[in-house]
Chain A
Amino acid sequence: MDAITALFAGFETALTPINLLWALVGVTLGTLVGVLPGIGPALTVALLLPVTAKLPPVSAFIMFAGIYYGGMFGGSTTSILLNTPGESSSIITALEGNKMARKGRAAAALATAAIGSFVAGTIGTMLLTFAAPAIAEIAVQIRPEAKFSLIMLAFVTISATFGGSPLRGLISLFFGLCIGLVGTDLQSGQARFTLGRPELLDGIEFVTVVIGLFAIGETLYVASRLRKDKASVIKLEGNARMTREDWRRSWKPWLRGTALGFPFGAVPAGGAEIPTFLSYTLEKKLSKHPEEFGKGAIEGVAGPEAANNAAAAGVLVPLLTLGLPTSATAAILLAAFQQYGLQPGPLLFITSPELVWGLIASLYIGNVMLLALNLPLAPVWAKLLLIPRPFLYAGILVFSTVGVYSLNNSVFDLFLLALFGIIGYGMRRFDFPVTPAIIGVILGPTAESFFRTALQQSNGDYSTFVRQPLSAFILFIVALALIVPAVLKARRPSVAT
């Protein structure tokens, strides 16, 4: 398929007044919720899912695209003005941007983050435009064995390779897999782990798990050890803007950050943290003012923030072409697709081209809207940071309740929500990462389906996974990803002593 022609068709879909309106609503809501402290992009998307419940799929996904990018933009505002990264990929922005803000350079930090995100988002979307159809064409031919192995790779990289403790990451993953098993087995129709409750026959809604683990868990955890001193929000006078000198120092880091971020987002390798850290290190090495790093260097905001947003675009490549989410946010987007009865993957480009291309076109549009929203309106978003904590967390809880209750109008789901909230509290208290559990819940059933299809085709011969070349190769990488970090970890102390 000719990407340009398809993209034009996508713009025709996305540029209708009603879809432009949904894109605008999406970016505004995404920024609004993303700015709120304690809410990262993943939770932003999950909390706003019910808002799209009654929309036709195309409009819903155009709105999601806006929410997704908007949540990213909003997060950088919080990081810079409040020094609170909503997720690990914003740590660098918080580190360097907040120092800039403390030196009275908040406007420049916000502007370089916003413009950098725009540049990275736009270039990333262009790369997505051309890479996705090509990959989708290849991906159609991937056999179920290899698809299962790919999911294993995503599981391992997300839970074991990049977390603090591989064991805890894997336990979190397996907890998610257990939750994903609950419900009726689609192939045989047998009830599994329903404890005899009819409410569980349809399985546990992923929204309940996501909002419980993220939002309720966070609320309970923060309440248990609340910071008593007031968070110091840095005042922002006027618009976000940059001087000529700022531009000169920012444009190269934007491009380098984009170049780092996109490929890392696109391979199943644990999302946006790595490229933001790499970009930071790179800019520090290349800078003429390395002494400024750690004290508020603009390159240290421009590069990582661009890397972060380029990775966000990159994440959409495996999501749209393989149905493989490589971050918690992407996993929630995947689940949102499934709610509409759509399975992202190579076939989606053939079966619903207006949806895929409308979505991609709306990413370009959303980026422009975000830039227009964020530069002049930065002081408005900054005001949101002043909401007192009691009212903020109370509001988060009420929105969580609406989101979960409106799925099935079921009080039972709210009890489940409370249960997952307690588990989310425990995961924070005992240092289990939440993202692997989310990925497990959402991808577990898909993994099982490919697993069974592959075995059915091979008549139950388990060695098919290692005999099919692509699958064997991916499983080999999976094994490496599990073993190498463990070996390195085991060797380090013995070298030291």
Chain B
Amino acid sequence: MPDPVPPNISLPTARRPISVPDLLIALGVVVLGLLMLIGTNQIAASGMNTVVGPRVFPMIVSVGTLVLGTFLTVAALRGHRAEPAAEEDTDPNVPVNLASPGLILGGFLIGTLLLQPLGFVFGTAVMYFTVAFAFGERRYGLMAGVALIVALITYLLFTRGLGLTLPPGILKGVI
């Protein structure tokens, strides 16, 4: 695999302070490469007499990841930092609020755990409710109503209309 040239190698400007998050991400890529390398060595050698075994390609990918991660680490140490993506519905100027994504993840995990015991409708209604809450909606009655209706319609559409199986949970026999 040919190695790319790291970006910004010819920036003669004064060194910017190192961004810790960027450095951690870069080291994370290095660690991923290392873990892949270790994982590659744990792949059992194939019993068959093949020219190229199951290890060769993973080896290339691991080493590639490791090399690219090293380049990124060097770039981060030289003060390079990533620009957060500007997307529709985002405002690059507002302070970053990590509570909202945390809330969404929490609601998602709770909903996931409730999916089997309570059923698809209630599990996804929990998810729907937390996302709406995390996005700043505060009309609780409306949110709960919409959450349940969306979850119910989705359930009926996919199970009745498309023949997929989703867990009915406590509504078993009712819907």
Contact = CB atoms under 8 A, between A and B. Distances in A.
Tell me if chain B binds chain A. Answer: yes
Interface of A: 37-38, 50-51, 53-54, 82, 84-86, 160, 165-168, 170-171, 174-175, 177-178, 181, 185, 187-193, 216, 218-229, 231, 388-391, 393-395, 397-399, 401-402, 405-406, 409, 411, 414-415, 418, 421-422, 425-426, 428-432, 444, 447-448, 451-452, 455-456, 459-460, 478-479, 482-483, 486-487, 489-490, 493-494, 497
A225 to B, nearest CB: 5
Given A38-B89, A397-B127, A451-B57, A165 B154 contact: no
A460 B49 CA distance: 12
B132 A394 contact: yes
Contacts of A188: 46-48, 50, 53-54
A-B residue pairs, 6 tightest by C-beta: A84-B88, A188-B46, A390-B137, A390-B135, A394-B131, A223-B100
B135 A389 contact: yes
Contacts of B127: 394, 397-398, 401
Nearest to A461: B51
A171 B29 contact: yes
Contacts of B98: 224
Contacts of A189: 46
B103 to A, nearest CB: 8
Interface in B92-114: 92, 94, 96-98, 100-101, 103-105, 108-109, 111-113
Contact of A394 (B7, B47, B87, B135): B135
Contacts of A221: 85, 87, 90, 101
Interface in B20-75: 21-22, 25, 29, 32, 36, 39, 43-48, 50-54, 56-58, 61-62, 64-65, 68-69, 71-72, 75
Given A177-B65, A395-B150, 15 more contacts: A167-B4, A168-B82, A181-B36, A190-B44, A191-B44, A192-B39, A193-B58, A224-B98, A393-B132, A394-B127, A401-B111, A429-B85, A451-B52, A452-B52, A483-B5
A223 B104 contact: yes
B104 A219 contact: yes
A157 B20 CA distance: 31
A444 to B, nearest CB: 8
Contact of A418 (B6, B46, B61, B105): B105
B12 A493 contact: yes
A146 B61 CA distance: 20
A429 B57 contact: no
Nearest to B51: A460
Contacts, number: 268
